[in-house]
Amino acid sequence: MTHHSDLYASHIIYPAPLQAGDLIGIIAPSSGLEPGIHHLIHRSTAYLHQLGYQTRVGSSVWTNDKCVSLPKEQRAAELEQFLLDDKIKAIIPPWGGEFLMDILPLLNWEKIRQASPTWILGFSDISTLTFTYTMMTGYASAHGPGVVDISGADDNLTIRWQDLLSAASGQSVEQSSSTYHQTHSDYSKPNFNLDTPTEWKILGQEDQPESSLELSGRLIGGCMDVLTPLIGTPWAPVTDFIQHYDQEEGFIWYLESCEMNAGDIYRHLWQMNQAGWFQHTRGVLIGRPAGYTPVKNFEIQDALQAVFGEQQIPVIYNVDIGHIPPQLTLINGASAHIQVSNGSGTVQQTLR
């Protein structure tokens, strides 16, 4: 049996830096948009054109039924077509969805491995794709805002997606935590409503307001709701990936959740841990959980402590990752150095 590690290059491979004039593909490999909100795509293409890019919009974007844009065969064919087209330098879906996993077995991964790497940027169910793409190829991918959020944001953090995707191999990019984040989303309004102070927290040091922490390692992660169903499938060769890349440097997992209570979060993290996903982990970043509730007096801190406390893996939570904007753009495969103190933090990523 061939291990995926035999297929990886000796180092993470980064797509070519995004440049003015480049072609960006907008497709919906998970959920598309109903007719009443098509204006969001027109807004997004206009915004990208304003930044100096060209766009190609796939047919999947314009429809949505039973939580998906198109039948899985059509979504897979469109994604493969965009990934194999050398003219398309980045793929940025509008947003996530529910069932992207249906297309993973339909993709020709051998062809995708032989093609030049393409930037893929997104979060929520798109992290099913970004995570798998990196695990199956050794090509870097980007977890961050979808194209609807990109065009509807005016904050200093969301816009940094462009700095990361245009970075050259070997270059470093630093992002800082937001000052405020949004508690209620409303796509009818042009911008985020950043109304709540942001405070990154260090697990176990919540009562020490001046506490600080530094972490270093290679980034991997995504949305827990959709990553854990990949465990035990061919599309998540995580232990091969971990064994192949920089065990000495170690890994920093970044994870966020949507629609999960504290008990759900614990079960998902427990499963990831039992599957060996947290080998060589130097630290964990947990995004602000969306749709979250405790289970009686069992809170997210209890879930994190139960999984990471015994292993003495440091955890920073309430980080700018995921469904409660604004969010960092994090590169799967990049080397990162994270500092947090007094509730604020920085993430420096180096594309090496």
For residue 242, the one-letter residue type is I
Q: Which of 256, 257, 268, 335 is catalytic?
A: 256
**Residue (of 286, 18, 14, 256) closest to 127 by Cα position:** 256
Length of the chain: 352
How far is 237 from 277, CA to CA, in rounded Å?
10
Q: Do the beta carbons of residue 332 and residue 220 sit within 8 Å?
A: yes
Q: Which of 78, 181, 323, 335 is catalytic?
A: 323
**Residue (of 47, 81, 48, 314) closest to 204 by Cα position:** 314
Residue with tokens 């989303």: 185
Q: Which of 60, 124, 127, 141 is catalytic?
A: 124
Whether 60 is a known active-site residue: answer: no
How far is 83 from 90, CA to CA, in rounded Å?
9
**Residue (of 127, 166, 200) closest to 346 by Cα position:** 200
What the block records as the tokens of 87 is 């003219």
Computed on alpha carbons and rounded to an integer, the radius of gyration of the chain in Å comes to: 19
Whether 323 is a known active-site residue: answer: yes
Whether 39 is a known active-site residue: answer: no
Strand-pair category, 23-26 with 88-91 = parallel
List, by residue number, the catalytic residues.
124, 256, 323
